[in-house]
Amino acid sequence: MLDVRGLQKIYEGRERRVEAVRDLTFSLDAGELACLVGPSGCGKTTLLKCVAGLLAPTSGEVLLDGRAVTGPPPGMAVVFQEYGRSLFPWMSVHDNVELPLRQKKLPRARRRELVHEALASVGLADAHRAYPWQLSGGMQQRVAIARAVAYEPNVLLMDEPFAAVDAQTRADLEDLIRDLWHKLRVTILFVTHDIDEAVYLGQRVLILSSSPTVVQEQLTIDLPDERDQLHTRADPRFTSLRTHVYEQIQAAKRNAGAPAGGSRDTEVPGDARPGLDRTPA
């Protein structure tokens, strides 16, 4: 459904030329939940902006359902890291969530229905009339998620959406994302610098190298689909996957500047689990 091919982005300044990403190639199937991890400054936000059609790549292309993305595609929603700047402070929570639905020109009754469902799904059914500045950071981020969900996107991009919330809220929001994904079957590309979060959330983890950025590895997360904070994180398989991702990122830092060998598709061999057929890479 989503194809990123040979994506390169160079920011050209007057004095400075920054190659934010060098050569990124990967694709997402419809309905997939993939996480993208990489060190800070490796170009994750740049990549998302290119995928969202907010930034033109220097070379390479992004295809959505086979069509090149040249501007914000209909059916795509983005949740940014800075929720504080992504909600309009003069609009109530209800109006913030409703805004994109007005732009979609949905009839009033349908808008009302979608806003109610979305706010209920993020646990904010009582907050319609509140203003963003009256809410905690975690609640504001839930409003931003509700706005994205109400829009009924086919593709949801999330850029380190939980980086600024406390650990407990973050755990709740992670579970919320998996719930919503199960319910809506939307395709999600979730960017994070947090290795545990990537392994906990994803069906697949794409590991980016540090600059010059390439896709270092694509790892299948063979944890059971039913995940919960206590059991999944205590699962030995979770530990071996996170260790693997950690080692890959460390290796990527050591190899920074080395020529790209192309991304590898990997499965981590490890503990034998009955009923799981695993082929070592």
Residue 137 interaction partner, one of Mg ion, ligand ADP, none, beta carbon < 5-8 Å per kind: none
- Mapped onto helix, strand or coil, the DSSP state of residue 182 is helix
Q: Are 237 and 273 in contact (CB under 8 A)?
A: yes
Which sign, positive or negative, has the C-alpha torsion 9, 198, 173, 114? positive
Pairing mode, if any, of strands 17-28 and 187-192? Answer: unpaired
The CB-of-50 to Mg ion minimum distance in angstroms stands at: 13
Give strand pairing partners of 77.
156
> Which of 5, 25, 45, 117: binder of ligand ADP (CB under 6 A)?
45
Phi-psi region of 201 (alpha: psi -120 to 50; beta: other; left: phi over 0): alpha
User: For Mg ion, which is the closer residue by CB, 44 or 111?
Assistant: 44
Quote the CA–CA distance of 129 and 104 in Å, as a whole number.
22
# residues near ligand ADP by CB under 6 A? 12
Choice between 35 and 124, CB closer to Mg ion: 35
Check residue 178 for interaction with ligand ADP (CB under 6 A).
Answer: no
Pairing relationship of beta strands 76-79 and 155-159 according to DSSP bridges: parallel
Q: Is 40 in the site for ligand ADP (CB under 6 A)?
A: yes
Give the one residue of 34, 35, 42, 177 binding ligand ADP; rule: CB under 6 A: 42
* CB 222 to Mg ion: min, Å: 28
**C-alpha distances in Å from residue 190, one per residue of 149, 157, 170, 178, 197:** 14, 6, 14, 11, 10
43 makes contact with ligand ADP (CB under 6 A):
yes
Mask 46-85, x = binds ligand ADP (CB under 6 A)? x---------------------------------------
| 35 is a contact residue toward ligand ADP (CB under 6 A) | no
Residue closer to Mg ion by CB (options 49, 204) is 49
Report the residue number, 38 or 153, with the smaller CB distance to Mg ion.
Answer: 38
Burial of 122 (0-12, 13-18, 19+ CB in 10 A): buried
Instruction: Look at residues 194, 163, 158 and name the one whose alpha carbon lies nearest to residue 178.
Output: 158
Q: Rule CB under 5 A: which of 13-72 touch Mg ion?
A: 44-45
Asked if 209 interacts with ligand ADP (CB under 6 A), we say: no
Residue ranges binding ligand ADP (CB under 6 A): 11, 13, 18, 20, 38, 40-46
